[in-house]
Every structure is written in C-alpha cells, then in structure tokens.
Structure 1
C-alpha cells in the first residue's frame, strides 16, 4: 500500500531538500571563494615576486645607466681627445698650406719676373723686326716703284695697266678683288673677242668672273635710238684729240631676230615691239635690229652708239632720217663723219638712190658737208663668189665657170704636194650658212687659186677655148684678190704692194685704173649685153671711184 502523504509535508520536504542543496552549493561557493582567495594570494605572491624582479630589473637598469654614463664619459673623453687631434691636424695642414702657398707665391713671383723680362725682350725684338721690316718694305716698295716706272716707259699703256692690276690683285683673295671702270672695259673687250679664251685666261691671271662682267653690262641702260651717255663720253674724249683723229666713218648693218615679247620689270615696259627711240614705238612686233657704229679713219677705235628695232627690214626713208640724225649727233660730239659704209641690202640701195648717189657721184651732203658712200668690201667679195658659183661670168667671150674651181680641187686634193693647200671641200661645196663666211670667199678668190688654175692649164695641156677660159678664171681670181687687199689694208708698209696704205707712189692707183677697164665688161653667163650690170660688180666700180675722190679730198684738207 502506498502511503498517503499530504501535500504540505511533501512541500516542506522538498524545501528542505532544496535548502540542503542550497547549503551544499553555498559551501561549494565558499570553497571556490577560498580557492579564489588562495589563487589571489598566489597572484599577490607572484605580483610581489614580479615587483621584486622589477626592482631587480630597475637595479640592473640603474647599474646599466651608470655604466652607460661611464661609457658616455669615456666617449666624451675620447671625442674631446679626437677633436684635439683634429684641431692639431687642421692647424698643421693650414700651416703647411700656408708654407706651400708662400712658396708657390714666391715661385710665381719669380716666374712673373722672368716672363716680364722675357716679354720686354720679345717686345724689343718685335720692334726691331718691325723697324727692319718697314725699312725692308720701304726698300722693296722703292724698288717696286722704280720697276713700275721703268715698265711704264717700256710697255704700252694697256699692257702697263694690265701688269699693274695683276701685281695689285696677286696680293688679295678672290673676294677682295676690286676693279676700276677701265679694267672692266678692257676685260669686257677680251670677253667679247673670245669667251673661251677669256675662261682660259681666268685660270692663269687675276681677272673678274664672267658674272661680274654680265652685271656690268646689265647696269648700262642702252635704250633704242642714239645713246646720249656714249656721245657725251666721246665728246669728252674728243676734247684732247688731234683734228685728224676726229675724222670718222659711220657704219650701219641689220640682222634678223626671233619674234618675242616680254615684260621688262626694271623699266616697267613691254619689250619686243618696233622701236626707233625717242618714244617712237609702234604696235608691230619687231623681227629686225639695225645698228649704227662709228669708226676712226686714221686711228683704231670704234663704238656702237645707236640702234633700233623694226618689223621687217628698215624702210629706206626711216633709215635716211636716222642716218642724218646720227651724223649730226657725231658732229655735236666733236667728230666729223666723212664716210658712210653699208652693205647692198635693198633698203640701203633705195636710200642712196633717193639721195642721188651714183658711182660717178658717190657722195651726199648733210648740212653742206660731203659724206662719201662705200659699199662694204667683205659683202661685195661674198656676192662675187656666190654669183660665180650660181651663174658664172663672161669676160671678153671667155666663160669663167665654177667647174674650173671644181676641176682644180679634184686634181689638187689627191696630190702629195698641193698647189692650193688651203682649198678644201668646204670651199667648193658650200655647206649651209657657209656662204656667209668671208674667209671662205677670200680664200677662193686668192692668188694661190689663180696660180693653181694656171698650173693646171699647163699640166693638162689645154689648148684653144678651154685654155682661154682657164686663164681668164686665173686673172679673175687674181684681180679680185688685189681689189680686196686694197680695201682691207691694215698696215702702212707690207711685203704685198697692194696691202699697204695708199700713197701717191703706191701701186694702188694704176691697179684701180686697170680694174676700171675690165670690170664694166664682166657679165653673167647668159645675160644680155645690154642688161644692167649686177650690183656687186657695179659696187666695186663705185668703191674704186669713191676711194679715189676721198683720197683727193683728204689730201686737200691735210696737205
């Protein structure tokens, strides 16, 4: 049986049990508290031990600091001793440096004194050498001046000027060359004579460059018409010239140009149109140029002083007007124009016909003064050769044909010893533009060709009319050779009697009379006997008569 316990008793028992349990837990807490207190005591003991160890550490630290202080004291003592040694070293080095500096200053002073004495000696030597050089230079200059004075008396004026210029320029560089106007004029004449020769001479002598000469030419403003600057310069030159040297001849000629028009920026005008000077311009494009040159009769000087551009050959009326103006301008400049020379162009012949010039009266008058007219001899000799080649001549029934010259060349060109050594294929068979060369014409109409034709007549044994034709051709060449020599004489005396100057006792006038006999009989092959003579043959007659009249006029003036 299960006992029945009332609830209140059960609760009290439970409370007792809980109280017992609580007391046991309290005891446990007390035990833990005791344990905690014991651990606290242990901690306190450890803390005490730690503090004691800390005290020990502090004591060690104090001991260390005292040793550090001792070390520091030792370091301070060492540094002070090191500083003292350093100061001693610095003082010693400064003293030693002072000694060295003093020694160096002493040595420099000695060197400066030595150099000063050396400089003074060198200055004295330089002054001595300068005095010696100056005295030597003066002696050399005196010798040079004496030499130049001697050369001035020995050499011609132009040669002396060239030599003195070379001596001056030889002491300078190319950039230091300075040329006078006379030097430039002289070198320009050399350049125009032969550009190739001028370039060769530039390698040997001190001469201005080609560009310098071109700039000199570009600086001259040479407008159409008659140049006043040239005329004024010639006027000054004529003030100190002898009267006989003022006699001159005016020469005119024309040449063809390529038609072109361009703008001249410097002058601000369009070039290339017909222009006669003094503002006389036309709208026609120019293709011809006519020039006027003056040349001394008794002295060797010549100067171009006027030109114009024309569309086509210059009209004879315009040519006459410009010719008269040119003659008057030359008279104003102090020159006296006695001769007019031109070729046988159509305009020139028309102008002289208009002025009434004939072979019997070969002159015209300008302001009451005679001006004799001569046809250009080189032009005449070329025309004679050209007519002989194209047509042939007839003289007293004897035909003078070009075949005779071809026969002579065909025979003579195959011989070892030639009769006419200058005769070539170019003379017989003229290439293009060769007919304009005067040299080829004069070498055909020469004494050597005349002798060759005569010798060929004997070599071939010609007889009858062939012989007469060949002999007539030989006389033809010989006579024209003499005529050209008369009008092309350059020296007062010459071994050839017709190449010297004309005088009363010379052989010119008898030869002229002989030529005036056979020239009127010279006709072209196939021409009518009543037909007027060809201009070139008539031109030679005109020149002979004109030269005779000019000679008599000059004799009367300057007898």
Structure 2
C-alpha cells in the first residue's frame, strides 16, 4: 500500500497539480503506512533542522493527514455506546441520551423535542452503525437542547429522578456537533445554515480558528471510561486532533497563496466512496468485483460516468464535484476563443 500511495502522489504531481492532503479512514493498514511515512518524514525534518509536525512528505510533496470526518464521528459514537466520556471531573453518559429519548417517546402529538429520532439512532441493539446520518442525528444540536431542557427538572413524568449528568452529556454532544460542522462547511452564505456559523467555508474572520484551538485543548483532556473505571484515549480522539491541525496548516498554506476561502467539506473520502458505489451498482449489483471486472467497469464509468449520478442509498453525501473533462470535450475544438464542433 505504501508503494501504491507513493506512485499515486507522484502521478498527481506529474500533471502539474499540487497534492496538499491525504484523506483516509482509520483502518489498521492505513495507520501502519502513515506511521512509516511519518517516521521517515520526522527523520528528514530533524536532520534538516525543520520543525516537526504530523504532516508527511512524499516525493517532495508535503501532505497533511485528514481522517475522514464521517468515520471519525462514527468512531466517537461507537465508543460512547459502551463507555462514558470524562472531561476534567465531568462525566457524560450515553444512558442520558437513552433516558431523554424514552421520555420524548411518551410525548403525545406534535410536541416531541426529537421527532426525527427512533430506536435505530439510540437503542444499543438496534443502531445501524454504518449509517453516518444516524450518528450525526444523535450527536446534534437538537439532542443537546433536549438534554439541557430535561436537566431543568428533578423527576421525569414517571416520578424517576433525572440524571445529574445531563448537562455534561449535552455539552459533550454540542462539542462534537460543532466539530463535525466545522469540517463540513462549503458555502459562504448564511442562508443555507442559519445559526450554524461553523457549517460554512473557512475565511480569515470565520469562527473556525478560535473554535479549533479550543476543541484541540478539550480533546487532549478527554478520556473514555469503561465499566471498570479504566480510562483510555481512543484513536478517534487522537485522529480528530490530527485532522484539525491539518486543516489549520492547510488554511495557512492557502492564505499564503492568496486563497481567501477554504472549503473543508471537500477534504473527505466521499468522492472515492461515491465512485465505489457506482462500481457496485453497475450491472445490477456487484458488491465484490474481481480485478478484471473492476478494471472494465472503471473504463465504462470513465466514459458513461461523465454523466455523474449519486444514489441516495450510498453511505455518503453527494460530493458535488465536477469532472475536469467532459464528454463533449472529445468532440469540440477550441479555436480563437470559440467552440467549434467537428
């Protein structure tokens, strides 16, 4: 895999494009390869007297590591299901979410605080762990609001005492809601995400810079605590920190290049996952193509795929990317600023 990544970076660089980031999931194979690249880069930085950081260098290109945010947020949720989150002396519990969800289920009519939640979002044995939307609907601003509202009462409708950690859990949920927003912004307009200032593109005056610094401090102090009371820092927390620092360095890089807007939404693995979704969907449903089939499907999609599509069943959002080349480019000739057809 290390050799393949190196070849890809060299191939991209040879086109005149400048690779600046490497997006990946948290798989063990990727982690091992990244560790090898980081050790080589750190050795080179020390010998050169340069400042060390989490970035890697491949064939003269400095690449900032960005772990796919949907994978990161699912990693946090999956650990939270069976462990408490400890921040300082404050404890957050998944059971708080379950309690408030159950209370909300007893609400009659249209007055529910959490109408979009169901058992597949909250209940341990029923959660669809691969669905990103199920994860972010729980770790959301609305759920944090519901927990804070419930914390104002001493007992629920059945006379049971309300958990004393509701406000802590609400704060933790709100942190990850904002964190996920901050790495998913693309628009510069307020009208698309009212009240969600971090769900926008990064600019010199945007709130991202202050929030990211604060988030790094909180994540460094955050621990997961299992049922036996043992504390641990799970990989997803460490990789969130790596991703935030990478975005900070990328902003500095773009700013130096006089690029005034950075859209974090485009730093993820959605494009490749959408492509794999098209491969699997091709010729009815081919979930496990061999190399020969994959190569032929790739060639077909290279032509027909100029008409890009996104299936709602894909486990990622439409990447909204436009191809550099379009099919009509093959049949048009640019001459004197005018387009002439053959």
TM-score by length of 1: 0.40
1:407 equivalent in structure 2: 99
- Equivalent pair of 2:85/2:93 in contact (CA under 8 Å): yes
- Equivalent pair of 1:446/1:481 in contact (CA under 8 Å): yes
Question: 4+ residue runs of structure 1 moved beyond 6 angstroms?
Answer: 527-531
2:151 equivalent in structure 1: 457
Q: Does 1:500 align with 2:187?
A: no
Correspondence for 2:133 among 434, 439, 446: 439
1:248 equivalent in structure 2: none
- Rounded Cα–Cα distance in structure 1 between residues aligned with 2:206 and 2:229: 35
- Rounded Cα–Cα distance in structure 1 between residues aligned with 2:94 and 2:125: 16
- Rounded Cα–Cα distance in structure 1 between residues aligned with 2:37 and 2:63: 11
Deviation at 1:334, TM superposition (A): 2.9
Superposed, which structure 2 residues align to 1:319-330 within 5 Å?
A: 319-330=1-12
- Higher RCO (C-alpha 8 Å, min separation 6): 2
Equivalenced residues, count: 238
- Rounded Cα–Cα distance in structure 1 between residues aligned with 2:239 and 2:133: 20
Correspondence for 2:26 among 344, 361, 371: 344
2:113 equivalent in structure 1: 419
- Rounded Cα–Cα distance in structure 2 between residues aligned with 1:433 and 1:329: 41
Deviations 1:288-319 (A, max 9, x none): xxxxxxxxxxxxxxxxxxxxxxxxxxxxxxx1
Deviation at 1:432, TM superposition (A): 6.4
Superposed, which structure 2 residues align to 1:143-542 within 5 Å?
A: 319-356=1-38, 361-416=53-108, 417-430=111-124, 434-460=128-154, 466-467=163-164, 469-494=165-190, 495=194, 496-526=196-226, 533-542=233-242
Pick the structure with more helix per residue. Answer: 1
- Equivalent pair of 1:399/1:525 in contact (CA under 8 Å): no
Deviation at 1:519, TM superposition (A): 1.0
Equivalent residue of 1:372, what SS?
strand
- Equivalent pair of 1:363/1:371 in contact (CA under 8 Å): yes
Worse overlay, 398-407 or 520-529: 520-529
- CA spacing shift, 1:341–1:392, aligned 2, 3 Å: same
Deviation at 1:444, TM superposition (A): 0.5
- CA spacing shift, 1:432–1:472, aligned 2, 3 Å: closer
- Equivalent pair of 2:120/2:127 in contact (CA under 8 Å): no
- Equivalent pair of 2:219/2:241 in contact (CA under 8 Å): yes
Structure possessing the higher radius of gyration over alpha carbons: 1
Deviations 1:107-131 (A, max 9, x none): xxxxxxxxxxxxxxxxxxxxxxxxx
The runs of 5 or more residues in structure 1 that have no matched partner are: 1-318
Deviations 1:12-38 (A, max 9, x none): xxxxxxxxxxxxxxxxxxxxxxxxxxx
1:250 equivalent in structure 2: none
Deviation at 1:558, TM superposition (A): 2.8
Deviations 1:192-247 (A, max 9, x none): xxxxxxxxxxxxxxxxxxxxxxxxxxxxxxxxxxxxxxxxxxxxxxxxxxxxxxxx
RMSD between aligned residues: 2.5
TM-score by length of 2: 0.65
- Rounded Cα–Cα distance in structure 2 between residues aligned with 1:548 and 1:373: 11
